[in-house]
């Protein structure tokens, strides 16, 4: 009978081999845990946003709140002393020159006639006649200037096709022709006002020299075409000569008035481009600076700081596009004070201050490199690079606090901007 029992030396071999395998497994697990701990202690690349330095146009603006206002406005006053009837017109009603009756004044009993009153009335008539003559001469001068400007503009239109004049000069000549046309309109308005003032002065003299004829009611008519802006005296009452009754203007003839800080106003030039924003429309309106008033005034800001401000007047290029606007509407103006069509640009979010220097982080071989940058002009979103960077460099946008010089970084993937990722 054969024996099936395992020899003692074979049993010892099997136990030794199982013990060695168990030790190898334990050592492998220990080494794996140690490798995980070491890799976890290694610093990981910091995800960052990046932007590329490139060349492009840059325009520096002065941004300030502004108000629209009607260029030519007229306050109709009572021509004689008497009882005024109630004004039936409301703000916004259309009026026509010489046709629309604003109100009717029934003259009171005429005062005692004396030499002094008559001399004063005659002097007012003479002054009104002189004012009308001056307005006529100003209108003729404005028309002459307008004809010359339009002729010059026509010549430029014909010669500019051959490239014989710069774009800047062409724009200035076009602006000059438009300004001359607006001056003609303003002087025509002033002539109508002067004629109406002459009629008022003659009516006042008539009430003194011919009380019987002047006893009839006086119709106060609109001197110009436009709309009623404000009714200053609506109720029937006794008025004296010169009492303001109604304010009239043309809402289509708008300009923009902006109060600019004096330190910013010194860099603004007549003819500068203006973008009108925050006015209620979908697109910004285009305008140009017409005048910078020479005198500043003191204004207290919302923080209680006294500021020196200057009135800057701007003309809209297309008044029909601004038809929804009215008098004294709030807008925001962006006045161009400097521009260049080809400059090296860096986004404002890539720059930060360290002492008195501007710095930025460059992305080189997967690491952030701190670089000093010489910065020129800025529009708040992009800045002009004068030194320290070159076209094609990649900079970090809004670097976090844990980004230091030489730290390993990686580009962050942002779907909305399409930023690349390593």
pLDDT at residue 163, as a whole number:
58
Select the CATH number that applies to the domain covering 60-68+252-339 from these four: 2.40.30.170, 2.60.40.2580, 2.40.50.140, 3.30.360.10: 2.40.30.170
Model confidence at 38: pLDDT above 70: no
pLDDT at 421: 38
Mean pLDDT of 119-138: 82
Which tops the pLDDT comparison, 311 or 252?
311
Check whether 162 has a pLDDT greater than 70.
no
Exposure class string for 232-255: b at 16+ Cβ within 10 A, else e: ebeeeeebebebebbbbbbbebbb
Any idea where the domains of the chain sit in the sequence?
Answer: 47-57+341-411, 60-68+252-339, 74-107+218-250, 111-210
- Residue whose entry in the numeric block shows the structure tokens 């580009």: 411
- Per-residue model confidence (pLDDT) at position 213: 46
Query: Is the overall model pTM greater than 0.85, yes or no?
Result: no
Q: What is the pLDDT of residue 30?
A: 75
pLDDT digits (tens, 9 = 90+) for 380-409: 889 999 999 999 999 999 888 888 888 888
Q: What is the mean pLDDT of residues 147-154?
A: 82
Burial 15-34 (b: 16+ CB within 10 A, else e): eeeeeeeeeeeeeeeeeeee
Better-predicted residue by pLDDT, 185 or 228: 228
- 234-279 per-position pLDDT tens digit: 999 888 888 999 999 988 888 999 999 999 999 999 999 999 999 9
CATH of span 74-107+218-250:
2.40.50.100
Backbone angles phi, psi at 86, to 5 degrees: -65, 140
230 neighbors 90 (Cβ within 8 angstroms) = no
Q: What is the rounded CA–CA span in Å between residue 267 and residue 196?
A: 41
Topology classification of domain 47-57+341-411: 2.40.420
Q: Is the per-residue pLDDT at 214 higher than 70?
A: no
Q: How far apart are CA 124 and CA 65, in angstroms?
A: 42
Who wins on pLDDT, 172 or 53? 53
């Amino acid at each position: 009978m054969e024996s099936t029992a395992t020899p003692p030396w074979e049993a010892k071999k099997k136990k030794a081999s199982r013990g060695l395998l168990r030790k190898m497994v334990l050592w492998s697990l220990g080494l794996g845990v140690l490798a995980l701990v070491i890799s976890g202690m290694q610093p990981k690349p910091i995800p960052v946003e990046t932007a590329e330095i490139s060349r492009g146009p840059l325009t520096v603006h002065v941004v300030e709140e502004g108000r629209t206002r009607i260029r030519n406005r007229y306050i109709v006053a009572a021509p004689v002393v008497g009882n005024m009837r109630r004004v039936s017109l409301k703000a916004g009603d259309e009026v026509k020159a010489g046709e629309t009756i604003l109100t009717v004044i029934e003259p009171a009993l005429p005062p005692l006639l004396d030499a002094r009153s008559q001399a004063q009335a005659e002097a007012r008539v003479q002054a009104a006649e002189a004012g009308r003559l001056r307005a006529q001469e100003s209108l003729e001068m404005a028309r002459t200037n307008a004809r010359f400007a339009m002729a010059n503009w026509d010549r430029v239109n014909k010669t500019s096709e051959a490239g014989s004049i710069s774009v800047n000069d062409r724009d200035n000549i076009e602006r000059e022709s438009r300004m001359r046309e607006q001056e003609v309109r303003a002087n025509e308005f002033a002539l109508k006002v002067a004629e109406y003032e002459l009629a008022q002065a003659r009516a006042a003299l008539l009430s003194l020299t011919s009380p019987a004829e002047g006893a009839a009611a006086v119709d106060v008519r609109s001197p110009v075409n436009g709309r009623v802006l404000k009714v200053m005296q609506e109720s029937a009452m006794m008025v004296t000569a010169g009492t303001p009754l109604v304010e009239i203007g043309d809402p289509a003839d708008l300009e923009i008035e902006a109060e600019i800080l004096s330190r910013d106003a010194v860099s603004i030039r007549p003819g500068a481009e203006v973008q009108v924003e925050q006015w209620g429309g979908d697109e910004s309106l285009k305008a140009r600076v017409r005048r910078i008033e020479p005198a500043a005034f003191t204004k207290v800001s919302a923080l209680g700081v006294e500021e020196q401000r200057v009135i800057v007047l701007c003309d809209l290029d297309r008044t029909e596009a601004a038809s929804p606007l009215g008098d004294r509407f709030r807008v925001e103006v962006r006045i161009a004070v400097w521009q260049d069509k080809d400059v090296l640009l860096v986004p404002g979010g890539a720059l930060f201050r360290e002492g008195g220097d501007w710095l930025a982080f460059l992305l080189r071989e997967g690491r952030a490199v701190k670089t000093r940058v010489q910065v020129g002009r800025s529009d708040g979103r992009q800045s002009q690079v004068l030194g320290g960077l070159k076209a094609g460099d990649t900079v970090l946008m809004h670097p976090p606090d844990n980004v230091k010089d030489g730290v390993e970084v990686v580009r962050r993937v942002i779907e909305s901007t399409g930023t690349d990722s390593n």
